[in-house]
Amino acid sequence: MRHLSFLSRWACLLLWLLAGSDLHAQTNTSWTPDNGDGTFKNPLMWGDWPDPDIIRVGDKFYFVSTSMHYVPGCPIAVSNDLVNWKMAGYAVSRYEEDPRYDLRGGNMYLSGSWAATIRHHNGLFYVGFCTPDMDGRKGQFSMCTAKNIEGPWTRTIFPEYLYDPGLFFDDDGKVYVVHGQQKLFITELNSNALSVKTPRREIYDNRAFPYLEGSHMYKGNGKYYILGSTGGTRGRQVCLRSDSIYGPYESKVVIQDDHTYPGNGLHQGGMVQLQNGDWWFIIMQDRGPIGRVPNLEPVTWVDGWPMLGTGGKGVDTFPKPAVGKTYPVSVPATTDEFNNKMLGLQWQWNHNPDNNKWSLTKRPGYLRLYAGKARNLMEARNTLTQRVEGPYSEGTALLDLSGLKQGDIAGLGVFQSPYAYIGVRYNGKKRELVMVNADSTVTVIPCTSSKIWLKAMVREKDFTATFAYSYDGKHFTIIGNQLKMGLGLDWTANRFALFLFNTDLNSPESTGYADFDWFRR
């Protein structure tokens, strides 16, 4: 099926779903925006890369994104041409400030890193982000620094709370953060950008721009520019302009467009200048349970205002940025054969992992997960995740189940709230293949082998996920019913998930384990 067209693959999938029985293996290729003819198409990455900010350092571009509760946090991607990207690393290795990040005494779903800002100054990379106050937790602002984008990174937590920060190094040596929601503030930092120098000052408040947030600051021709998003999911992008960093600011809407996804406007992102002087903007668009998806837009300066897209609309297909060279097609990795000593950069845990309960070396060539106690998948600590993609994506895992013990359940899920999964449960006498959807066990059938292929198939068109299994890796059988993907965890997309947990809460700690040979997309 390697040569099936896009429409043919959809037709085959529909027939499989209607048949509901035997399903042959399908080759799944990650979305790429590079058309191979000097043009690109949007979206830039058809997955959850929200709240983008971007910089150029020399001939490379760096993109940072929100990752909420997932660990490691603040994913950073790198590109030579703004179109072809790969992962570079993360600014946060884990969160140490609250035991709930270890799923002890509660959870930190929706906490973690929000609306990151990235800058480079005097040989250092800076990534700042906020963690809003939720459920009685006080909001925080963090600044991470590193000499190399791959790390190691050092994190400093401020006593002050700076919401949706935009870090800015002025040409007079002063350092600022623009922050806030509708009511915007400027806070001056000390020269190392690791502490506050002067208290915040209000600079803007306009009720015509509700929820004005996601601010990033730039300077050109002696003027200060703040670009932010207003109106939330249905939003638009606004530019503020002033001769002084503290204002007064005049304003202009620089794009208001939802033609590629009606009802959800392009909003919030970052701007960057090429070496030839051209400007480009990466801006996100909410696409439901698939996530907040980045688009790449040209910038045209009109009467001193940076106007995004063309003719007031975001571009669908457009000439690639003029960086002077042509680079190979590249997309962030998805498949992992687990042959290396480190996990691929596409992976994030659902909370801080328990590093005693997973290994890539106990059985070389496999990811081994050890069972921890949990009532359900939301409470299972070492759940390993990566993004789903549109318009269609599937993930397949090969498992060796011979290490399972009483009460263990291992498998492959699509993780959010609600979630669903296909897994194998060991009840002490036999293995059972189960399909669970929204905490309800839909199907239980005998599992006749200690080796099994599990598959999850995700469609962006109707936000559904379907699950299947195989005992030979070639012929897959659909099991259970479809997950209707949702967003019970606000602003957080659905993800593929590998897991193992033990549901016998009153028994001693399980010594069981599951070996994942590979995960392929």
Residues with catalytic function: 51, 213
User: What phi, psi does 186 have (nearest 5°)?
Assistant: -115, 125
Question: Are the C-beta atoms of residues 274 and 231 closer than 8 Å to each other?
Answer: no
Structure tokens at 378: 């939301």
Q: Which two tokens stand for residue 286?
A: 């909410």
Strand order in the sheet with 166-169: 166-169, 175-181, 183-189, 196-205
Structure tokens at 110: 């929706």
Residue 18's CB is within 10 A of a number of other CB atoms, namely: 8
Which tokens in the block code for residue 284? Answer: 């996100």
Of 496, 218, 221, 464, nearest in space to 347 by CA: 496
Give SS3 for 99.
helix
**Do β-strands 317-319 and 372-373 pair in parallel, antiparallel, or remain unpaired?**
unpaired
Q: Where are the alpha helices (DSSP H) in 381-510?
A: none
Peptide bond into 446 cis (omega under 30): no
Cis-peptide into 72, omega within 30 deg? yes
Give the helix, strand, coil percentages of the chain, each rounded to 5: 5, 50, 45
Q: Computed over its alpha carbons, how large is the radius of gyration of the chain?
A: 23
In terms of Cα–Cα distance, which of 211, 297, 203, 318 is closest to 254? Answer: 297
